[in-house]
């Protein structure tokens, strides 16, 4: 990976995070399990399709790109999510754009097209996804599970990514990889529809 | 011919995974808002609500099964994507003239393709399927009852559409036998005939 492409990725990342977030009221979106904040965090991730589906799409995409990429995403996404979440616990942030719709669309499209990103491409996507969704999660968890909730989310992310990307890495027959890509096209199509709802005229 | 069976699995597996995932959010546990799971079910039911939609989507699967790889999976990938685009056009208020005629024509032409076992270039087949998918999306992608989750409705809608294609591909597996090929062409003739009926209804 050249310095220029690193700069390009960095700029893109900063732009994404910068444009998607702006100071405003947070929309709370909480899950209460009754078993403490860590479980609330795990429950939040597993029961919120807006977060869960993009994460699964990333896991499948990283898996398609190979074990190394999967491993990087597995470690980077939870860390970026935590960083974003800690930020979100402190600043009020609400997205200008419908973040889940864009995440669905972009990650679904990457997965469906099986895009050959540059060497650190998957890692960069994981970091952007983690930061953006992390900030939103942090803002939502402020009135509930808080920092321990973020820890729960981190753990759930790690396990999900490890399982899903390892599953895809283990797929050898061509049709099984196509099946994963078909799932990506469905995610992208759902994202496109969701974008339509957001900009409904 | 073992590929066809594998291909059927290739749709069944993501379908089951997606269904399991999408079914996870339970309104009582997940959110304070109501109607989340109903949104998913409404979306899931919607593509089945009209015979004109059902037949066209099954025809896409049948045609894919006749054409074999890669049309087998490219056509059913194209349809939901372009259908979503059509739905977005409807949602942002962009008009599309002759929606009902377009839907009727889709049954007629796609049925005709299956009937004649027509083998155009891949790009032509994808364009044809994608073009008609826009009409289907425009007509039915936008009917979300108030208070239900747009996300889960969208996912249900796309999954049900994929499921219909999967049914078409599943039926299309009979293509391996000579009698099955004939039966498929017969099914195509039926769909084309129904398309003619829909067209007559749309034009009167």
Q: Which two tokens stand for residue A51?
A: 């977060």
- Whether chain B has a CB inside 8 Å of the CB on A50: the answer is yes
Q: Which residue blocks in A21-98 are alpha helix, DSSP H? A: 37-46, 49-64, 67-90
Q: How many angstroms separate the CA atoms of A59 and A74, rounded?
A: 8
Range in A16-25, A118-127, B67-76 with the lowest mean pLDDT: A16-25
The Cα of A28 is separated from the nearest Cα of chain B by a number of Å equal to 10
* Domain coordinates in residue numbering, chain A: 36-198
Write the CB contacts of B97 (distance below 8 Å, at least 6 apart in sequence).
none
Position A12 scores a pLDDT of: 54
The pLDDT of residue A155 is above 80: yes
Mean pLDDT, all residues of chain A: 83
Position B57 scores a pLDDT of: 92
Chain A partners of B26 at a C-beta cutoff of 8 Å? 47
Position A188 scores a pLDDT of: 95
Range in A173-187, B14-28, B45-59, B166-180 with the lowest mean pLDDT: B14-28
Interchain proximity B29–A178, CB inside 8 Å: no
Position A199 scores a pLDDT of: 82
Position A16 scores a pLDDT of: 45
Chain A partners of B151 at a C-beta cutoff of 8 Å? 49-50, 100, 190, 194
Residue of A nearest to B80 (CA): A189
- Whether chain B has a CB inside 8 Å of the CB on A143: the answer is no
Chain A partners of B30 at a C-beta cutoff of 8 Å? 31, 47-48
pLDDT, average across residues A99-114: 92
Q: Per residue in B128-165, pLDDT tens?
A: 999 999 999 988 766 767 767 778 888 888 999 999 99
- Whether chain B has a CB inside 8 Å of the CB on A77: the answer is no
Residue of A nearest to B4 (CA): A175
Cβ atoms of A197 and B155 within 8 Å: the answer is no
Q: Which residue blocks in chain B are alpha helix, DSSP H? A: 2-23, 27-30, 36-45, 51-67, 71-91, 99-116, 122-140, 150-172, 178-203
The pLDDT of residue A28 is above 50: no
Q: How many angstroms separate the CA atoms of A87 and A6, rounded?
A: 24
Cβ atoms of A111 and A125 within 8 Å: the answer is no
Chain A partners of B93 at a C-beta cutoff of 8 Å? 201
Q: How many angstroms separate the CA atoms of A165 and A69, rounded?
A: 9
Q: Per residue in B105-135, pLDDT tens?
A: 999 999 999 999 999 999 999 999 999 999 9
* Domain coordinates in residue numbering, chain B: 40-203
Q: Give the gyration radius of chain A's Cα atoms.
A: 16
Residue of A nearest to B26 (CA): A47
Is the ipTM, as predicted for this complex, more than 0.90?
Answer: no
Interchain proximity A201–B93, CB inside 8 Å: yes
The Cα of A134 is separated from the nearest Cα of chain B by a number of Å equal to 19
Range in A13-27, B70-84, B136-150 with the lowest mean pLDDT: A13-27
Chain B partners of A180 at a C-beta cutoff of 8 Å? 14
| Residue bearing tokens 């399991």 | B20
User: Residue A18 — pLDDT band, cuts 50, 70, 90?
Assistant: very low
Position B30 scores a pLDDT of: 40
């Amino acid at each position: 990976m050249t310095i220029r492409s690193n700069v390009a990725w960095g700029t893109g990342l900063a732009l994404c995070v910068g444009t998607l977030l702006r100071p405003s009221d947070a929309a709370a979106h909480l899950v209460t399990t009754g078993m403490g904040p860590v479980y609330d965090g795990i429950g939040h991730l597993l029961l919120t399709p807006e977060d869960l589906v993009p994460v699964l799409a990333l896991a499948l995409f990283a898996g398609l790109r190979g074990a190394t990429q999967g491993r990087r995403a597995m470690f980077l996404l939870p860390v970026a999510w935590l960083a974003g979440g800690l930020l979100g616990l402190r600043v009020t942030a609400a997205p200008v754009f419908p973040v889940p719709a864009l995440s669905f669309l972009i990650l679904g499209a990457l997965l469906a097209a099986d895009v050959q990103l540059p060497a650190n491409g998957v890692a960069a996507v994981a970091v952007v996804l983690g930061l953006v969704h992390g900030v939103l999660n942090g803002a939502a968890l402020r009135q509930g599970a808080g920092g321990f909730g973020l820890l729960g989310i981190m753990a759930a992310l790690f396990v999900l990514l490890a399982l899903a990307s390892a599953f895809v890495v283990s797929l050898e027959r061509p049709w099984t990889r196509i099946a994963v890509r078909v799932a990506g096209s469905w995610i992208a199509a759902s994202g496109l529809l969701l974008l339509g709802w957001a900009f409904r005229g | 011919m073992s590929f066809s069976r594998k291909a059927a699995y290739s749709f069944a597996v993501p379908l089951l995974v997606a269904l399991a995932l999408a079914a996870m959010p339970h309104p009582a546990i997940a959110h304070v808002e109501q109607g989340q799971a109903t949104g998913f079910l409404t979306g899931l039911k919607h593509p089945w609500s009209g015979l004109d939609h059902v037949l066209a989507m099954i025809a896409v699967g049948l045609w894919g099964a006749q054409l074999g790889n890669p049309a087998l999976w490219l056509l059913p990938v194209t349809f939901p994507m372009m259908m979503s685009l059509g739905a977005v056009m409807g949602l942002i208020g962009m008009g599309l003239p002759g929606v009902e005629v377009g839907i009727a024509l889709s049954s007629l032409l796609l049925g005709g393709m299956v009937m004649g076992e027509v083998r155009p270039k891949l790009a032509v087949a994808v364009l044809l399927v994608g073009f008609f998918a826009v009409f289907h999306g425009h007509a039915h992608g936008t009917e979300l009852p108030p208070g239900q989750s747009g996300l889960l409705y969208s996912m249900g809608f796309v999954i049900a559409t994929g499921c219909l294609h999967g049914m078409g591909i599943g039926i299309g597996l009979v293509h391996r036998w000579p009698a099955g090929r004939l039966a498929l062409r017969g099914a195509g003739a039926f769909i084309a005939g129904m398309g003619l009926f829909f067209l007559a209804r749309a034009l009167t």
